[in-house]
Amino acid sequence: MVTEEKREKVGIAGYIWFIFAVLFFSGAFRDAPGALKLLDLNTYLGTFGTIVEGAKPGFVGQGGSGLNDLFAVVLTIVPGIMFCMGVIEVVDHYGGLRAAGRLLTPILKPLMGVPGESALVLIANLQSSDGSAALIKALRDSGSINQKQQNILLAYAMPGPALLGMMVSYGVMFYDYLPCSTGIIIIVVLAMKVVVAELMRFVISHGLKEKKKEGV
């Protein structure tokens, strides 16, 4: 775990890198003009081209099955995961994660039982399921979170991943049929993600208590 002593050693650069990471993973500059798009993760991930006119972008194709199709799908995921892990390493190197810990631990610790460094996972999950999974692994490998906190974050990340990305892409076709505004849907989904994380937190804590009682 990140010690209080390390959290205190946060310079201005750390806060600047934390702000950059928030903007980068949040999708705030998804539709920004010109060079501002460089502040968005999806600008770097890009898209696959088409092989023939009228085909869907990508090389996976349609109707595949078995290990061949699985391997092709995994190949499309790997670049994004590797890139996100590289970005978070840079942010951590310059103190961005320590800045997040100092600013947000007082909020996230009582809310979900996770340190402030986890804020980037919650933000990245809004537009990238793979990216948020990579961030959880990076935090676990660096010792910023423990096994229990990792499971809580995974419970948060699994339901409704890439929420904003889906809402502005596939979700557009359903807008005319929605009985409420998209803002309400986003709020409800985010609230349910927190509820699921809390359920995981409760299950883990209850299980640990039971093991202590049994002397395991």
Whether 61 maps to a domain, the answer reads no
- The amino acid at residue 201 is R
> Is the residue at 53 inside a domain?
no
170-215 pLDDT, tens per residue?
A: 666 777 777 887 778 888 999 999 999 999 999 998 876 666 655 5
Range of the domain at 34: 4-47+67-163+175-214
Q: Give pLDDT, residue 168.
A: 64
What integer is the mean pLDDT of 59-88? 76
Output the average pLDDT for the chain: 81
What is the rounded distance in angstroms from the CA atom of residue 189 to the CA atom of residue 126? 11
Is residue 60 situated within a structural domain? no
Whether 56 is covered by a domain: the verdict is no
56 and 50 in contact (C-beta within 8 Å)? yes
In the chain, the percentage of residues whose pLDDT exceeds 70 is 83
**Tokens representing 188?**
């409800």
Question: Residue 68: what pLDDT?
Answer: 76
Nearest to 132 by CA among 14, 10, 17, 24: 24
In a domain, 133, yes or no: yes
Domain presence at residue 168? no
In a domain, 125, yes or no: yes
pTM (global) more than 0.75: no
pLDDT score, position 27: 76
Domain count, the chain: 1
Q: Distance between the two ends of the chain, CA-based, in angstroms? A: 24
Q: Is the pLDDT of residue 89 over 70?
A: yes
pLDDT of residue 156: 95
Helix, strand, coil in percent for the chain, rounding step 5: 70, 0, 30
Tell whether 170 is covered by a domain.
no
Q: What is the mean pLDDT of residues 91-118?
A: 90
